[in-house]
A and B are shown apart, each in its own frame.
Chain A
Amino acid sequence: MTEPVINTSPRTWDEVKTTTCYMCACRCGIKVYLKDGTVKYIEGNRDHPVNKGVICGKGASGIKQHYSPARLSKPLMRVGERGSGEFREVEWEEALRTATLWLSEIRNKDPRKLAFFTGRDQSQGLTGWWATQFGTPNYAAHGGFCSVNMAAAGLYTFGGSFWEFGEPDWKHTKYFLLFGVAEDHASNPIKTGLGKLKARGAKFISINPVKTGYSAIADEWVGLKPGTDGLFVGALIHELLAAQKIDGEYLQRYTNAPWLVIENPGGDDDGLFLRETSGAAQVWDSHTNSPMSANSSDASPKLMGRFALPDGRKVVTSFTLIAERFLSNDYAPDTVAERCAISANTVRRIAAEIAEAAFEQQIELDVPWTDYTGRRHEKMIGRPVSMHAMRGISAHANGFQTCRILHILQIILGTIDVPGGFRYKPPFPKPIPPPIRPAGKLGQVRPNTPMPGPPLGFVVSPNDLLVDEDGKPLRIDKAYSWDAPLAAHGLMHMVINNAAKGDPYTIDLLFMYMANMSWNSAMNVPDTLKALTAKRDDGEYVIPRIIYSDAYDSEMVHYADLILPDTTYLERWDCISMLDRPISEADGPADSIRQPVVEPDRDVRAFQSVLLDLGARLGLPGMTRPDGTARYPGGYPDYIVNHERAPGLGPLAGFRGKDGKSKGRGAVNPDQLKAYIDNGCHWFYELPDHMKYYRHVNWDYLDWSTFMGFMGKPEPIIHQLYCEPLQKFRLAAQGHGKILPPEGHARRISTYFDPVPFWYPPFEGDMVSNTEFPMHAITQRPMAMYHSWGAQNAWLRQILGRNWLYMNKDRAVSLGIAEGDWVTVTSHHGQIKSQVKLMSGVNADTVWTWNAIGKRSGTWGLSADAPEAKKGFLLNHLISDLLPEREGGYRFSNSDPVTGQAAWYDLKVRVEKAVDQSAESQPQFPVLRKLRGRK
């Protein structure tokens, strides 16, 4: 029989366009194959710095995301009650006029009455600026319920951070510890990195209560109890300090280890650095036996010791305080073992392995470089131990201090931005903390006036807080108040419930963008729904107006009064900007664009262009020309090219200047977008070798970084083991200074604002009965799904169309629970019913499920009986937005006390076999009806 002749060179496309993925925050480069204007195939872009050609399960399913039946198709105005699904279609002109009217009333009167929160926004450079121009301090994106405590911990400690601000040196690292990374965050770069590590024989340890995904391929799985990472890492530090396996030169030169801290209990200078009148910190010079400027070339500073000043005050080096904390018995392996559920021997062995990798396997790259003092180094010395962390650290109320402990470990080993260690991604490192203070103080919010600065920033003392004379919050989410002083990304998770309670005040308009705040992004969903629909005595909603923009029929859409339908990611312009969350690589800065590869077939508009349109209609100064016309009539692409934040600095760093040849700083280039498209929709500048490491103290890098506008002046970024800003809050709690915490806050501030990091139990676990609620309950992100967008995807929902509650096999047996049983899961706040699967690879005191798979019936273009709704479930219903009452009756938010980061994983529950074994998850909410005009 002869073989059939087949065409092995079919051309199933007529065009290939590059753009940037939007299935998650990795923002990989993609190539989209098109035939007759229809998307046929999406693959990774080989030339792209982020993904280098690979793509993930989500990215390769983008076709189904783009052609989803859940896409909105026309602006909608609510005509029935909120949640009824009764809307009428309106033209864009009516929608924009209505929005302008609502917004201008507020801006004329009190801009604070607008709460503008933008969720999983990848255009915060624009949206934050828009809020500033409007004049409201009530702006943030989703960072407050994502990882702000980790971002803040890093930025207040070493001028960088985990997540997308840095990455392990995949090429050189020999020992890698991954903390609480639940299958994504970052998606492709971590997967690619792990593949490389394993091929090289580097050791990979995963610290995570659940052994799936990345943990499944680790050399060693450390299945600790949720929320105890800080104790575990503290014990590693204990072991390393006790054996002096630490990098003394690194500590001496590049950290504040030798800086002197004043010990003057009761005094207003207690715990502050001893400083010269110039402000420079001081060290103890061993030659003169006296304090000397830390900048002095003559000093021979003591790394450890306590000394008396001539005026009788005592001073101590930062490093001494760190050593005293972690050498104490509180952090001895034997002390932490039971609490962490890790044997003391394992802690000791891992510490010894880390020491061996760092100091016996030192890397030396033959790359001369010059440090900030002008000293030339012939080699770049590397300590090949690296770490990465994500939500397992951040989703706990102790996440800020835990993350600080992690950074202390990195720093004492001398592993930050050295070969084999953890590397910054430009524009990081930045000064500690970045020199931007949040605007929104009394007097800074005025009718028809932009704020004098951005709404988000970094406070360094109580003087920077956004509080009134009584110490009450000035922001709707209580960010930068005594509730959450270092809230660098705001507290989006508190907005709706605060506004409904009028605490700290009511608002007139809630304006949100792509944040599913009535469902999987909300703590306490049932009460959030009540808050969205609560009415005043006069029949008006307590939150009178809600405008929402989304591309899809999500749970949140149904609670809006005006819906502005967004495009899909393949229909839009975007810039992944250095002013926002860049896609840089450790080897150099990078940014990218999205270009529309297909035209919308619906009456939808990209939210960013709509925002600029609204800005022009409102007459916001930055968006209007002197003659009153729009400054960016071409919408978002016009802004991307022509907007300048400072002379020569705009949203995109590549292809600037009249000739398109300038990098970083340069005049506006009208052909910039074309240049990006010609380059595959991205720009990457690889740094020369002598600027690839030690960048916090690297003379050439700091100069270059300043030229690029990443920092104001080329000064070294000295790692802050001891975090002085925290002590300033503590002093206020002790009654020093003019801005003091209100009653009931002082003890909390005194305790948690310790400038020397420490571990404390997550709040919920500490406040509820361990007998009543013995289990931890957490979520993991499935690699093929991300947030709520995946469930509408015809391919991905075949892979994961519902979730289960996963439980330790032995523990289940002891509770009389078998595989497939339906169980009730009860917290101090609520109860759900879900179905169980058993496994061995999970910490025995922990149950877990996949995040955001559960859907509300009737949404996302799915049939009402979809498994996502009928068998899927959320843990969110069990998680209170507020902690149980403490002394005085005040209920703090269920958040990290330093930053306000939502403490999702502090949840404690009990699991019991359900009496009702019917195959349906609980609670079930009323079915939402299909929206008008949905495609």
Chain B
Amino acid sequence: MTSLPTPQPNQKKLGLVIDLDTCVGCQACVTSCKEWNTQGYSAPLNDSDSYGADPSGVWLNRVHGYEVKEEGRDDTRVVHFPRSCLHCETPACVTVCPTGASYKRAEDGIVLVNPDTCIGCKLCSWACPYGAREYDYSHGVMKKCTLCVDRIYNTNLEPEDRAPACVKACPTGARHFGDLGDPESDVSQLVKARDGFELLPEMNYKPVNKYLPPRKRRDAVTSAAIALPKGDGSAMDRLFSWADKFLSGKPAGTIASLQDMSDKLEG
């Protein structure tokens, strides 16, 4: 069994906020994660039968699409749902670990696996209700999201680049990274403004990562039936009388001549 660090006042809780309203399921975060982490802390993220009948591999982040029925509506919504470690505050995957290989960092709350002490018993993946861990059969160790711990503090990277690879990649801006322990942080404010939620709160593992729900749609179901006013008589006649309003609208007709623009463009 592995113990959790004692939370400190103003404990830093690094995590992700994922916006289900704008995730289009493009897989940018998925492959960006793979390419960084296959040469990063969790390296390598092995693939097997890459060009064969049954290719598979280890991924720290996956996105699946689901068609779901929404309350109060007859139709469905297609939700793209990115799934990775939620860096829980009280993660069972850590406490079940017999060797201490699975641990939660005191400094920032990131949950990591130490590959040197992991014995590949898989207790952690059984304990995780979110299915966030993937076993690497080629090395016999467990792999999981590191929140790009080797990027976010990496002094070899420009400060703007010190963010998880998935967050940097996301084209729609659906992924946000920050300190969810700080109520004033951008991510905390975003969660507050958009009614962010956590997955399976009833399990009481207190996921740090939060999801933002899809915004309410504005369509035939939610919008009032409106139409443009038509007036009486023939539409053509009305259009004719409307058109006369623009009789003097024609501008003067001199056409601009070519100017030498070089002075404006050099330098």
Tell me the nearest residue of chain A to B261, going by C-beta.
A707
A343 to B265, CA, bound (A): 53
* CB-based contact A56/B26 at 8 Å: yes
CA distance A323 to B237 in the complex (A): 11
Q: What chain A residues lie within 8 Å of B226 (beta carbons)?
A: 348-349, 352-353
CA–CA, A6 and B103, complex, Å: 13
A212 within 8 Å of B (CB atoms): yes
Query: From residue B176, how far is it (CB to closest CB) to chain A in Å?
Result: 11
Select which of A300, A783, A796, A861 is within 8 A of B248 by beta carbon: A300
Question: Is A191 a contact of B26 with CB atoms below 8 Å?
Answer: yes
B44-62 vs A: 1/0 string, CB under 8 Å? 0001001111111101000
Q: Is the CB of A6 within 8 A of B218?
A: no
Q: Is B154 an interface residue (CB 8 A)?
A: yes
Segment 676-699 of A: residues with Cβ below 8 Å from B: 699
A10, A195, A715: which contacts B172 (Cβ < 8 A)?
A195
Q: Which residues of B lie under 8 Å from residue A706 when comparing CB positions? A: 258
- Would you call A349 and B24 a contact (CB within 8 A)? no
Residues in A795-841 with C-beta less than 8 Å from chain B: 795-799, 801, 839-841
Flag whether A375 is at the interface (Cβ < 8 A): yes
Interface 9-mer from A301-309, A476-484, A631-639: A301-309
Of chain B, the residue at the smallest CB distance from A688 is B264
Give the contacting residue for B32; candidates A55, A303, A372, A662; CB below 8 A: A55
The verdict on B180 contacting chain A, using a C-beta distance below 8 Å, is no
**Contact A198–B215 (Cβ < 8 Å):** yes
Are A865 and B27 in contact, CB atoms less than 8 angstroms apart? Answer: no
Chain A residue at minimum C-beta to C-beta distance from B75 = A840
Contacts of B27 in A (CB 8 A): 56-57, 783-784, 796, 799
Given A3-B105, A213-B25, A715-B255: A10 and B169 within 8 A (CB)?
no
Q: Decide yes or no: A243 and B266 within 8 Å by CB, A43-B32, A703-B256 being known contacts.
A: no
A662 to B2, CA, bound (A): 65
Nearest-CB residue, chain B, relative to A864: B53
The answer to the question of B267 belonging to the interface, with a C-beta cut-off of 8 Å to chain A, is: yes
- State in angstroms the CA–CA spacing of A51 and B170 once bound together: 11
Least Cβ–Cβ distance between A360 and chain B, in angstroms? 12
| B36 sits at the interface (CB 8 A) | yes
Residues of chain B lying within 8 A (CB to CB) of residue A870: 53
Q: Which of B85-93, B125-133, B136-144, B238-246 contacts A (4 or more CB under 8 A)?
A: B238-246
Interface presence of B192 (CB below 8 A): no
- Of the candidates A252, A343, A351, A716, the one whose C-beta lies within 8 Å of that of B255 is A716
Listed stretches B8-16, B195-203, B227-235; interface member: B227-235
Give, as a whole number of angstroms, the nearest-CB distance from A162 to chain B.
19
A213-B25, A249-B246 as given contacts; A60 in contact with B169, CB under 8 Å: yes
Interface string of A324-367 (1 = CB under 8 A from B): 10010000000000000001011011011101000000000000
The yes or no answer to B145 lying at the interface (CB within 8 A) is no
In the complex with contacts A69-B51, A195-B171, A297-B247 CB distance below 8 A? no
Taking a contact as CB atoms under 8 Å apart, the answer to whether B174 and A195 are in contact is: yes
B171/A191 in contact, CB under 8 A: yes
Partner-contacting stretch, out of A118-126, A224-232, A288-296, A843-851: A288-296
The yes or no answer to B6 lying at the interface (CB within 8 A) is no
**Across the interface, do B36 and A192 meet the contact criterion of CB distance under 8 Å?**
no
The answer to whether residues A239 and B78 also contact, given A3-B105, A319-B243, A866-B51 and a CB cut-off of 8 A, is no
A770 contacts the other chain (CB 8 A) = no
**Cα–Cα distance between A714 and B56 once the two chains are bound (Å):** 58
B30: Cβ under 8 A from any A Cβ:
yes
> Does B168 lie within 8 Å of A57, measured CB to CB?
no
CB-CB under 8 A from A252, the residues of chain B are 246, 249-250
* Stretch from A214-222, A426-434, A590-598 that touches the partner: A214-222
Chain A residue at minimum C-beta to C-beta distance from B3: A1
CB <8 Å contact, B250 and A863: no
Max count, chain B CB within 10 A of own CB: residue among A216, A251, A707, A861: A216
Q: How many Å lie between the Cα of A707 and that of B168 in the bound state?
A: 39
How many angstroms between the C-alpha atoms of A218 and B217 in the bound complex? 8
Quick one: which of A10, A214, A713 contacts B150, CB cutoff 8 A?
A10
> How does the 8 Å CB contact mask read for A857-886 relative to B, with 1 for contact and 0 for none?
000011101110010000000000000000
B210 part of interface (Cβ distance < 8 Å): no
Interface centre among B77, B149, B228, B264, by most A CB within 10 Å?
B228
| Alpha-carbon separation in the docked complex, A583 to B219 (Å) | 34
Q: Which chain B residues lie closer than 8 Å to A258 at the CB level?
A: 250
- Asked if A90 lies at the interface with its beta carbon under 8 angstroms from chain B, I say no
Report B-chain residues with C-beta under 8 Å of the C-beta of A713: 258
A345 touches B225 (CB 8 A): yes
Contact of B78 among A1, A304, A716, A841 (CB under 8 A): A841
Which of B54, B56, B105, B228 lies in contact with A243, CB distance below 8 A?
Answer: B228
Given A352-B226, A865-B53, A248:B150 Cβ within 8 A: no
- Is the Cβ of B32 less than 8 Å from the Cβ of A60? yes
Q: Determine chain B's interface SS by DSSP, over half rule.
A: loop
Interface check A203, CB cutoff 8 A: yes
- Which B residues are in CB contact (< 8 Å) with A19? none
Question: In this assembly, does B71 line the interface, its C-beta being within 8 Å of a C-beta of chain A?
Answer: no
Residues 636-668 of A at the B interface (beta carbon under 8 Å): 661-665
Task: Annotate A426-457 by CB proximity to B: 1 below 8 A, 0 otherwise.
Answer: 00000000000000000000000000000000
Asked whether, in the complex, the Cβ of B220 is within 8 Å of the Cβ of A220, the reply is yes
Task: Give the nearest-CB partner of B56 in chain A.
Answer: A798
Q: Does A140 sit within 8 A of B, measured CB to CB?
A: no
Cβ of A60 and Cβ of B223 under 8 Å apart?
no
Q: Is the CB of A299 within 8 A of B26?
A: no
Most chain-A Cβ atoms within 10 A of its Cβ — which of B105, B165, B220, B243? B243
A163 contacts chain B at the CB level, 8 A cutoff:
no
Residue contact B28 to A60, C-beta cutoff 8 Å: yes
Nearest to A69 among chain B residues (CB) is B51
Query: Are A12 and B40 in contact (CB-based, < 8 A)?
Result: yes
Q: CB of B188 within 8 A of chain A?
A: no
Most buried by B among A183, A214, A244, A863: A244
Flag whether A40 is at the interface (Cβ < 8 A).
yes
B253 on interface, CB distance cutoff 8 Å: yes
Which residue among B59, B78, B105, B225 has the maximum number of chain A CB atoms within 10 Å of its CB?
B78
Nearest chain B CB to A297 CB, angstrom units: 4
Q: How many angstroms from the CA of A586 to the CA of B146 in the assembled complex?
A: 39
Q: Is A418 an interface residue (CB 8 A)?
A: no
B228 and A352 contact, CB distance less than 8 A: yes
Q: Known interface pairs A3-B103, A3-B105. Does A293 touch B253 (Cβ–Cβ under 8 Å)?
A: yes
CA distance A567 to B170 in the complex (A): 29
Query: Quick check: is B67 within 8 A (CB to CB) of the other chain?
Result: yes
Query: Is residue B100 contacting chain A, with contact meaning CB distance below 8 A?
Result: yes
| Contacting pair A703 B266 (CB below 8 A) | no
Alpha-carbon separation in the docked complex, A792 to B50 (Å): 9
Instruction: Check if A863 sits within 8 Å of B53, measured CB to CB.
Output: yes
B28/A213 in contact, CB under 8 A: no
Out of A192, A663, A840, A841, name the residue touching B173 (CB < 8 Å).
A192
Cβ contacts A713-736/B at 8 Å (1 or 0 each): 111100000000000000000000
| A867 and B31 form a contact (CB under 8 A) | no
Task: Report Cα–Cα, A300/B247, bound state, in Å.
Answer: 5
Please report the C-alpha to C-alpha distance between residue A881 and residue B52 in the assembled complex, in whole angstroms.
33
- With both beta carbons as reference points, the residue of chain B lying nearest to A39 in the complex is identified as B35
Given contacts A371-B251, A661-B267, contact A220 B218 (CB under 8 A): yes
Q: Is the CB of A46 within 8 A of B160?
A: yes
List 30 interface pairs A-B (beta carbons < 8 Å), by A numbering.
A3-B103, A8-B153, A12-B40, A55-B28, A57-B30, A61-B34, A192-B171, A211-B76, A216-B80, A219-B219, A221-B219, A242-B239, A249-B249, A253-B249, A253-B251, A295-B253, A302-B247, A303-B243, A304-B239, A345-B225, A349-B227, A373-B252, A663-B265, A783-B26, A794-B55, A795-B34, A798-B55, A798-B56, A801-B55, A841-B78
Excluding A212-B65, A327-B236, A375-B252, 13 further A-B contacts by CB distance (< 8 Å) are A12-B39, A40-B39, A43-B165, A43-B168, A55-B32, A61-B35, A242-B235, A243-B229, A349-B223, A662-B265, A707-B260, A714-B256, A863-B51
Q: What are the 6 closest A-B residue pairs judged by CB atoms, nearest first?
A: A57-B27, A243-B228, A191-B171, A220-B219, A216-B78, A195-B172
